[in-house]
């Protein structure tokens, strides 16, 4: 028997729990050359801002042991061009689309989400209140519980489809932020965004990123992400999308066991662009081997000492 991979988050049904993470496959066009996007549960777009952004000058990525640092600086086409140029192509893709939105002010978040409200192809919005790589806004909305609650509550007034709040690990207590997001009316939580870090060339004494610091991602952050998903799942009722260092089906299974209902694959796409397809095949084999009828049978089933 083929196991059922479907998951439902906030009333939206996804064909499987594997999504791409924001910023790791642009708006999807290049990834569609690697595998049909209908294989994905959902594609999450690069963060969209009100105005187009070029981001930081290079170098804006650096490899680290078991991960990478990036300070892209939210390079994107801006919401008008996204709607005019990217959405028509996304309309043709048979996967759910989650549009990731970033802003530097409350007004900017609300204005972008209001513009996306009429765009039915945006099945959900993921609110990036956790970007460590911009000077204004970004992470400030995700590190202050009152600001988290407010931005979500205001966006909910203009966007009626489900809203995902993407949380940062760069806080003392992520559960407090999760509760603020829930209080504001978020429908789903996604975690984690990258962890602030840096790297220095000892020959030149120069930092390796023009932004001097960046966001650490990849396998190095997986244990941290797992512990944070576990903490949020244990204290919050909202469904969770787990993110952080996922590269294999085994990684996905760990995230589901600690309480994630779905996951996003980010940095692994730079190493192995077809990782989501391999993950899906291996996840199906695992469910068969364990004689589980549904992938949802794993969610929150971790055994603890």
**Hey, which residues are catalytic here?**
131
Instruction: Answer whether 129's CB lies under 8 Å from 105's CB.
Output: no
**CA 46 – CA 99 distance, rounded (Å):** 8
**Which CB, 19 or 287, lies closer to ligand FMN?**
19
10 Å Cβ neighbour count for 140? 15
Residue 85's H or E segment, with its range, is: none
Q: Which of 3, 16, 22, 125 binds ligand FMN (CB under 6 A)?
A: 22
**Which CB, 3 or 124, lies closer to ligand FMN?**
124
**Which CB, 63 or 91, lies closer to ligand FMN?**
63
Q: Which of 56, 166, 208, 233 binds ligand FMN (CB under 6 A)?
A: 166
Range in contact with ligand FMN (rule: CB under 6 A) among 2-10, 112-120, 167-175, 238-246: 238-246
Range in contact with ligand FMN (rule: CB under 6 A) among 111-119, 146-154, 214-222, 285-293: 214-222
Binding mask 69-108 for ligand FMN (x = CB under 6 A): -x-x-x-------------------------x--------
Contacts of 234 (CB under 8 A, 6+ apart): 259
Instruction: Answer whether 296's CB lies under 8 Å from 7's CB.
Output: yes
**Which CB, 3 or 245, lies closer to ligand FMN?**
245
Q: How far is the CB of 252 from ligand FMN (least distance, A)?
A: 11
For position 218 contacting ligand FMN by CB under 6 A, the verdict is yes
Q: How far is the CB of 117 from ligand FMN (least distance, A)?
A: 20
Q: How far is the CB of 164 from ligand FMN (least distance, A)?
A: 10
The tokens of 206 are what? 């120069």
Residue 18's H or E segment, with its range, is: strand 18-20
**CA 179 – CA 148 distance, rounded (Å):** 10
**CA 81 – CA 215 distance, rounded (Å):** 27
Instruction: Answer whether 219's CB lies under 8 Å from 254's CB.
Output: no
């Amino acid at each position: 028997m083929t196991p059922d991979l479907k998951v439902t988050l906030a009333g939206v049904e996804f064909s499987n729990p594997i999504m791409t993470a924001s910023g790791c496959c642009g708006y999807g066009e290049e990834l569609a050359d690697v595998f049909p996007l209908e294989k994905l549960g959902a594609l999450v777009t690069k963060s969209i801002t009100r105005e187009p952004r070029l981001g930081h000058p290079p170098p804006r990525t650096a490899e680290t042991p078991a991960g990478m640092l990036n300070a892209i600086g939210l390079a994107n086409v801006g919401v008008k061009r996204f709607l005019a140029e990217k959405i028509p192509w996304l309309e043709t893709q048979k996967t759910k689309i989650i549009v990731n939105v970033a802003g530097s002010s409350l007004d900017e978040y609300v204005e972008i989400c209001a513009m996306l409200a009429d765009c039915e192809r945006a099945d959900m919005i993921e609110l990036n209140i956790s970007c460590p790589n911009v000077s204004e806004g970004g992470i400030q909305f995700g590190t202050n519980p009152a600001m988290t609650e407010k931005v979500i509550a205001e966006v909910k007034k203009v966007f009626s489809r489900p809203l995902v709040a993407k949380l940062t690990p760069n806080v003392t207590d992520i559960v407090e932020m999760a509760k603020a997001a829930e209080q504001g009316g978020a429908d789903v939580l996604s975690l984690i965004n990258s962890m602030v870090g840096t790297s220095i060339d000892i020959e030149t004494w120069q930092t390796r990123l023009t932004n001097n610091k960046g966001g650490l991602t990849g396998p190095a952050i997986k244990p941290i992400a797992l512990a944070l998903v576990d903490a949020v799942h244990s204290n919050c009722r909202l469904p969770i999308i787990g993110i952080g260092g996922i590269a294999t089906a085994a990684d996905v299974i760990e995230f589901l066991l600690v309480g994630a209902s779905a996951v996003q694959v980010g940095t692994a796409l730079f190493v192995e662009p077809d990782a989501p397809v391999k993950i899906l095949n291996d996840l199906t084999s695992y469910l068969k081997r364990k004689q589980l009828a549904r992938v949802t049978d794993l969610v929150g089933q971790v055994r603890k000492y």
